Every structure is written in C-alpha cells, then in structure tokens.
Amino acid sequence: MPKNTEISRLTPHGSMDILSQLEVSQLKRGNQDGGLYETFRRCALAVLNVDSVTDDAREVLEQHKDFDIRVVQQERGVKLEIENAPQSAFVDGTVMTGIQEQLFAVLRDISYVKNKIASNQIFDTSSGEGITNIVFHILRNARVLVPETDPNLVVCWGGHSIGREEYEYSKEVGYQLGLRRLNICTGCGPGAMKAPMKGAAIGHNKQRIDRGRYVGLTEPGIIAAESPNPIVNELVILPDIEKRLEAFVRAGHGVIVFPGGVGTAEEILYLVGILLNPRNRHIPFPLILSGPASARGYFSQIDAFIKLTLGEEARQYYTIIIDDAAKVAREIAAGLESVRNFRREHADAYYFNWILNIDQQFQMPFEPNHENVAALNLGRDQPLHSLAANLRCAFSAIVAGNVKADGIQRIEQHGPFEIRGESEILQSLDELLHSFIGQLRMKVPGKTYTPCYNLRK
C-alpha cells in the first residue's frame, strides 16, 4: 500500500484543548503508562487509513508497522508529526482537513480519558450511575451534547461490508432524513455507516443547511477494522464497546438499523434488551429496521431469532420497513416528536437521555475470552432483558474473534470460542450465523471465512 514517507507536521483542528507537558510525555513512544502511546498510534493510523478495504485490524497494523506519530510540545500549543502514513490521507502532499480534525479528536479523547476519567476518583466504574456519568463527560468534552436543540440526532447502525444495493438504499434513507433537517450519528466507518451520512449531506445541502452534524462514535478495539469515513465531522473515541453503545442511546433520539452482520445483531440485541427492562416500557425510543427488497429475508431471520429467544413482547419495540426510504424518514421523524414531548413532560434533557434505565450487565465491559464466553447463560431461565444482554455478549465475542486484534490472537492460540446454551436457542443462532456467512456478512467479500466459534448444546 502506498505511503507518504516524508514527515508531516500538523496543527490542531477541531475541538481539542491544549495539552500539558505531562499529557504530552504520556503519549511518547516507550513511556511506561499503560500503552497509551500504542492506543493513540493505532487509532491515529485508522483515521489516516481512509478508504481501507480490509476489516482485519492486525493486517492493518502489519501493513503499516513503520508508521509513527509524535506529539510535539510548543509554546503556542501542540502539533502532530506523522511519518510513513497511508498515502490515501494526502492530497498533493497535504493531509486532508477532515482527517486532521479526526486526528486531533483522537488525541483529545485518548488524553481526556486517561487524565480526567481514569485517574479521577469521582468517576465510579463499578456502578451503573458512574459509568453513565463517564459517558456524559466524554461526550460533553467532545462537544457532542448540544443544549437548546430539539431532538434531531438519528443513530444509524448497519454493516461495514455491504453490497451496492444496500449501500444505495442506506444513502437514500439518509437523503430523506437530511431533507427533514435531521442529523446523523453512526459507528463512523464505511458501508451502512457512511451511506446515510453521504445521503444526508445532499439533503442538508438542498435545505441550505451548512452545519449538518455527522457524528461518529467508535472505540480503540474496532477502529482499525472500521476506519472513520471522511464525512464524519464529530468523531468520538469511547474507551470500550459498552460505553460506545451507551453513548449511542444516550445522545441519539431514535435508531435506524440497516442490514449488517454480527456487529449489527449485537447492537439490535443491546437496544431491544434495554427497552425490555420493565422500567423503560413507558419511554418512547423509535427503532426501525430497514433495507431494500433484497434484505427482506435478512430482517425476517433477525425477527424470527428475536421472537424465539426473547418472545413476542420484544417485537413491539421495533418496526420493520422494507424498500421505502421516505416512509422510514417520516416514521422516525414522528418518533422524534414523541421523544421531544416525553422529554419535555418529564423535564429530561433533549441532548442526553438521562431517564433511560440501563442495567449494569449492559454497561460493564465484557472481556471476550474463552472462559467468559463459555460461561454465558443462553437460556430462558432468566429475565428477558438479561438473556438479551448475554446474547449481546455472545455476538460481541464473535465480532472480536473476526476483526479485533486481541480476539484474533486468542482464537489462534486457543481455538474457537465455545458458546453454550439451550438447544433451541443455539439451533436458531446457528441458522442465523450461517446465513451471515453465506451472505458474506462476516468478512470482506472475497475472503474465505473460518468460524471463530463452536456451538455446544
């Protein structure tokens, strides 16, 4: 892959505050500070590796093992020096402005979490309230939370490796959302995360909206496999997948899910599981699953899996709309009006969903190792929202084994994860996962997929 072998020096762009000398020293190569430099380097490389076609984090790191990034302290602030960066980030020898903004967003969030969150005793990582507080502070520091604005941020989930028809449909839905003056929040990557942003940008332009918001939420473990797309103008790096998911449902006002794979199924189960909590039954949260006509079978399989595992009640929390982008936009806009009215009646903030109850089992980081995966309870002898949380963890483990560097290494060393549970649930899960494999939703098309899991009844 072509690289720019010259050293480039970049000045701050976007919403980054100045750094202290201590913060700069923590980000130096060789600093014995919990691998902060390496985390920063990996996230920065992902940002620079724009339009990458691989979803293997280790492959990205191997291709660019000579890449380096340095934070340079100056009297007027900081600068970044990059060396051996992917050529795709440059235009005539200069890093694109949007990518520079994303680089400094990475610097901002990595440093903030280390120095203002991890080392501050007021943040309790062992309680649900404490974790929500952490998510709030990270989003506020990134200036994602905008007060005195009606609910208009639509979260769009979906696969990073989708076919052209699904991509075009997702873009059309984004266009319809943009025409209705709605903003977009996604996982920041390619595919169904980029398409609605691209469509919304056109819709915003037609409505002469020059400050459209395209929010991208990611985390260090997944960013190398899903490099931020260049449309993202508000990038946030959350510490882990659980805080990333909570950020979506706290900052977003409604969710649209496009076709995807295991990661998309994980996101659906996360939100449905939260809405199944009896304490949340009165809270409006529009959730629409949608795709082109060719995706009808995909969503039918998802729907059948949810019905079998979580019961008929779970299906009331989402609507499936096939091949009608305008209807999706109208339905989500109507749902956001319900959200606005509810928040106003209950004196809840428009910019952060404080009132939503999220159980700790959805918040505590799940370490996808063989022991933890084997210990998951995939049986119906527990509350439905608890089963949803465990199913979410199972899908999260498969994502890790597919694309995350640590997960791939674990599979190579110890073999596939062993997922255990009720026979009927595992049979339905097996059918769902095999459909993902057959539709090339596990890896980038053209690669042979070797399952990172075994199902044991």
Pick from 66, 64, 161, 51: nearest CA to 96: 51
Taken in order 302, 280, 270, 225, is the CA torsion positive or negative? positive
Q: Looking at the predicted structure, is the pLDDT value of residue 45 above 50?
A: yes
Taken in order 275, 278, 284, 288, is the CA torsion positive or negative? positive
Beta strands at 90-91 and 94-95: parallel, antiparallel or unpaired: antiparallel
CA 315 to the chain's CA centroid: 23
Pick from 224, 225, 270, 263: nearest CA to 243: 270
Binned at pLDDT 50, 70 and 90, residue 445 comes out as very low
Helices (H), 113-163: 128-141
Contacts for 433-442: CB closer than 8 Å, 24+ residues apart = 433/262, 433/398, 435/298, 435/301, 436/261, 436/262, 439/298, 440/161, 441/159, 441/161, 441/162, 441/259, 441/260, 441/261, 441/262, 442/261, 442/262, 442/402
What pTM value is reported for the model? 0.92
Pick from 168, 160, 359: nearest CA to 246: 359
Residue with tokens 């203002």: 116
Binned at pLDDT 50, 70 and 90, residue 11 comes out as confident
Residue 116 exposed, middle or buried by CB count within 10 Å (0-12, 13-18, 19+): middle
**Least confident residue range of 29-43, 87-101, 419-433:** 29-43
Residue 289 dihedral angles phi and psi, to the nearest 5°: -100, 125
Cα–Cα distances (Å) from 336 to 203, 221, 439, in that order, read 18, 31, 33
Q: What is the pLDDT of residue 49?
A: 87
Pick from 328, 330, 356: nearest CA to 342: 356
Average pLDDT of 235-249?
Answer: 97
Q: Identify the bridge partners of residue 322 per DSSP, sorted by sequence position.
A: 291
Q: Looking at the predicted structure, is the pLDDT value of residue 380 above 60?
A: yes
| Two tokens, residue 134 | 């952490």
Name the CA radius of gyration of the chain, rounded: 21
- Sequence-distant (6+) residues with CB within 8 A of 91 are none
Query: Domain 3-120, what fold?
Result: MCP/YpsA-like (3.30.1850)
Query: Domain 142-457, what fold?
Result: Rossmann fold (3.40.50)
Per-residue pLDDT tens digits for 50-109: 876 666 667 777 777 889 999 888 766 788 899 998 888 899 989 999 999 999 999 999
Q: Looking at the predicted structure, is the pLDDT value of residue 307 above 50?
A: yes
Average pLDDT of 31-35?
Answer: 70
Binned at pLDDT 50, 70 and 90, residue 15 comes out as low
Average pLDDT of 200-214?
Answer: 97
DSSP characters over 334-397: HHHHHHHHHHHHTT--SSS-TT----HHHHSPP---HHHHHT---SSSS-HHHHHHHHHHHHHH
- Cα–Cα distance for residue pair 455/253, rounded to 1 Å: 36
Helices (H), 49-96: 57-63
- Cα–Cα distance for residue pair 128/356, rounded to 1 Å: 12
Instruction: Count CA atoms within 13 Å of residue 452 on its CB side.
Output: 26
Q: Looking at the predicted structure, is the pLDDT value of residue 449 above 60?
A: yes
Pick from 218, 226, 16: nearest CA to 101: 16
Binned at pLDDT 50, 70 and 90, residue 388 comes out as very high
- Sequence-distant (6+) residues with CB within 8 A of 321 are 288, 289, 290, 327, 328, 331
Asked, colleague to colleague, whether 3-120 and 142-457 share their fold, the answer is: no
Looking at every residue in the chain, the average pLDDT score rounds to: 90
Per-residue pLDDT tens digits for 153-164: 999 999 988 899
Q: What is the pLDDT of residue 131?
A: 96
Q: What is the pLDDT of residue 345?
A: 96
- Cα–Cα distance for residue pair 187/227, rounded to 1 Å: 10
Q: What is the pLDDT of residue 446?
A: 52
Residue boundaries of the structural domains of the chain: 3-120, 142-457
Beta strands at 3-4 and 85-86: parallel, antiparallel or unpaired: antiparallel
Residue with tokens 């602030």: 77
**Do residues 181 and 337 make contact, with C-beta atoms less than 8 angstroms apart?**
no
Higher pLDDT, 18 or 235: 235
